[in-house]
Amino acid sequence: MEETASNDSEMPSVKPAPADSKPERRRSTAGRFGVYGGRYVPETLMAALHELDKAYALARRDKSFRDEFRGLLADFAGRPTPLFFAQRLTQQLGGAKIYLKREDLLHTGAHKINNCIGQALLARRMGKHRIIAETGAGQHGVATATVCALFGMECVVYMGTEDMRRQELNVFRMRLLGAEVRGVDSGSRTLKDAINEAMRDWVTNVRTTHYLLGSVLGAHPYPTMVRDFHRVIGQEARKQILKAEGRLPSAVIACVGGGSNAIGIFFDFIKDQDVKLIGVEAGGRGHALGEHAARFDGGGPGVLQGTYSYVLQDTAGQIAATHSVSAGLDYPAIGPEHALLHDEGRAEYVSASDEAALDACQALARLEGIIPALESAHAVAECIQRVPTMSQSDIVVVNVSGRGDKDIGILREKLQF
Amino acid sequence: MAIRFKKRPGLVAYITCGDPDLDTSREVALAAIGAGADVIELGVPFSDPVADGPVIQRASERALQHGATLEGVLGAAKRIREQSEAGLIIFSYLNPILQYGLDRFCAAAATAGVDGALVTDLPVEEAGDYLQAMKIHQLAPVFLAAPTSTDERLRAIAKHSRGFVYAISRTGITGARQELTSDARTLVERLRGFTKLPIAVGFGVSTPEQFAEVGSFADAAVVGSAIVQCVEQNRGREAAAVAEFLRSLTGAANHAKVGQ
């Protein structure tokens, strides 16, 4: 929400970043992160994207907008979230000191609410009172339904029927909040298909509707705007660790589906070259295409749903099926800023399997009394793997992006006790 | 070997290639040309067709299940070209073209005798490299214009389009509709201020009345989902069914049969 991202609302330059330009720019210029990003959508949506870009550029310079955003983050969502020293997990692993950034304590149970508050305020400024959203795990859907209730807006959430099955509780929560949940039965019936359907709704109702996209995905300005709304995670964490330890952490670990919680906590550490940034993708149940959602392990550059980034696809450019035990990570593309961080070597991306995530979920529950969302459990899994190899003088911050209540059904199915 | 509309309204016929197989698609294309189509849009199936309604989504899924690829579509184009002089446009989402390679795609399309391409999710701002490659291979880039496009955008769209401009009749996805909205007429009028190219109106044209109505203000009508649905519902006699359908569609506008 500060002056970090440039915006481009000048019209049509017809000069994309040349394909061979070096990904040297840290900041988003003309919607690009190096060569990644851009705006690859049907023409009908272009005017809406420009309108959004312009509205956001004005809003973020407007003190009253920033004040209202921060006020709601504090009073409605419950920010700042604590940075908690995980003493027993640290003792058990015998390596680096582990701190948990407690986004799971936020209202609605995950970091997603940050972005939803920001975009709902923006939609209101633009005079759009119909909100549509996609959801995978249901956390973004619940957060969207929540802000729509708060602002008195009409809310339609698209969700794959496979995800509706595995995240049943969140479907009910959305309905309780007054949202209409529309099941999507095409493709793999998961997040990607929900986004397709939301885009079809948007292209049809674009004049009255704001698409409240839930991650750092899609066409410009979404990846920049959504990141800005989540930057507060890293801003807080940086201050909190300096206060607690008097120094910066050795590593920051976060799970990466589209990558919003990860970019949110990474962003203010990017300039701190000694802080390792580690993104954890869904390793699923195997290495073959279709068995996981690790875009940096088998994916390549491509265009999906508005943006140019790493995509899991076949040689003919058809998008691959994905699998993850966590609906929120079960997506074939990754936010374009992560693609740049990956290529630059500034962030490291690894994956954790379904099994490792389930184990990590239980470990955190039993050692710290915190049941993380299965998405966040992927970050915990990497922490469990990595910390024993680190020195006791190291510090690790793990982003617990959401709580596991929504996963009780699937945990019961998988753990059988 | 050119994009030319012989009557008004001209007829642009969209086919999802590979549904149910590429041989049938070629036959359907030739039948459509026989029934008066001036231009054939050869649709490349894509796994995530965000701009398309249920009819083309289903056709794309079937085509992909049967192994259709961009390369296969280019092969079909070549064989259609061997038998016809009608305009041929590759109609695709960007990713299959990116993975094939932009230059390689343009070279192969030119060799196959294709006249141009329309890439649904490639707006003019992002089209720099594409326009360059298309120019080198003397292919016509056709861009979409939407009712929501600002004048500034329409100017850029007109400037970079060759062959014709594709005006989307309404905000929304592809598929048949009961009636055309006033959006279409207004958009065509606005576009005329920026270009002398023919303007084809598409999205939702499926009845003789709509076809005739488009003829009253635009140069050509694009018929897509209605053809794809005709293919879906007439297994085993796809080409004949499409020809019959197109003849009945164009008859109301006294659109004389051409080609054949």
Residue B241's CATH number = 3.20.20.70
Q: Burial, A332: exposed, middle or buried (Cβ in 10 Å; 0-12, 13-18, 19+)?
A: buried
Q: Does residue A35 carry a pLDDT above 70?
A: yes
| Mean pLDDT in order along chain B per 10 residues (260 residues) | 87 98 98 97 97 96 97 98 98 98 98 98 96 98 97 97 96 81 92 98 93 96 97 98 97 47
Output the pLDDT for position B31.
Answer: 98
- Give domain status of residue B23, yes or no: yes
pLDDT > 60? residue A230? yes
Task: Point out the least confidently predicted range of A161-170, A202-211, B251-260.
Answer: B251-260
Give the pLDDT confidence score for residue B181 in this predicted structure: 74
Number of domains in chain B: 1
Q: B64–A302: do the CB atoms touch at under 8 Å?
A: no
Question: Is residue B190 assigned to a domain?
Answer: yes
The answer to whether A305 contacts chain B (CB < 8 Å) is yes
Out of B95, B100, B128, name the one closest to residue A16 (CB).
B128
Q: What pLDDT is recorded for position A208? A: 94
Pairing between strand A36-40 and A306-311? antiparallel
Express each pLDDT in A99-138 by its tens digit: 999 999 999 999 999 999 999 999 999 999 999 999 998 9
pLDDT band at A416 (very low <50, low <70, confident <90, very high): confident
Selection from A204, A165, A209 nearest residue A183 by Cα: A165
| Nearest CB neighbour to B99, from listed A46, A192, A302 | A302
Distance from CA of B170 to the nearest CA of A (A): 8
A361-383 residue pLDDT tens? 999 999 999 999 999 999 999 99
Which of the 8 DSSP states describes residue B69?
-
Does A198 reach chain B within 8 Å, measured CB to CB? no
Nearest Cα residue to B214 out of B163, B160, B157, B252: B252
Tokens representing residue B234 in the block: 């007439």
Residue A137 burial (C-beta neighbours within 10 Å; 0-12, 13-18, 19+): buried
What is the largest distance, in Å, between two alpha-carbon atoms of chain B?
Answer: 47
The reply to whether A110 touches chain B by the CB within 8 Å rule is: no
Residue A328 pLDDT more than 60? yes
The residue-averaged pLDDT of A304-313 equals 98
pLDDT of residue A308: 98
pLDDT for the residue B194: 98
First-to-last CA distance in chain B?
16
The answer to whether residue B3 sits within a structural domain is: no
Residue B91 in any domain: the answer is: yes
Cis peptide before B9 (omega within 30 of 0): yes
Is position B141 within any domain? yes
What pLDDT score was predicted for residue B258? 38
Which pLDDT score is estimated for A97? Answer: 98
On whether residue B14 sits in a domain, the answer given is yes
C-alpha pair distances (Å), A2 with each of A58, A76, A217, A277? 12, 21, 20, 22
A201/A3: higher pLDDT: A201
Spatial contact of A151 and A124, defined as CB atoms under 8 Å apart:
yes
**Interval A178-199 mean pLDDT:** 94
Residue A417 is predicted with a pLDDT of 76
Range of the domain at B216: 10-259
pLDDT of residue B255: 46
Structural domain includes residue B4: no
Is there a domain that residue B95 lies in? yes
Tell me which residue in B50, B96, B173 faces A305 most closely, judged by beta carbons: B50
pLDDT band at A11 (very low <50, low <70, confident <90, very high): very low
The per-residue pLDDT for range B178-194, each reduced to its tens digit, is 777 789 999 999 999 99
The pLDDT confidence band at residue A16, using thresholds 50, 70 and 90, is very low
Q: How far apart are CA A84 and CA B254, in angstroms?
A: 77
What would the pLDDT profile of A49-69 be if each residue is shown by its tens digit? Answer: 999 999 999 999 999 999 999
Q: What is the pLDDT of residue B175?
A: 85
pLDDT in the model for residue A6? 40
Q: HEC states along A86-155?
A: CHHHHHHHCCCEEEEEEHHHCHHHECHHHHHHHHHHHHHHCCCCEEEEEECCCHHHHHHHHHHHHHCCEE
Nearest chain B residue (CA) to A316: B96
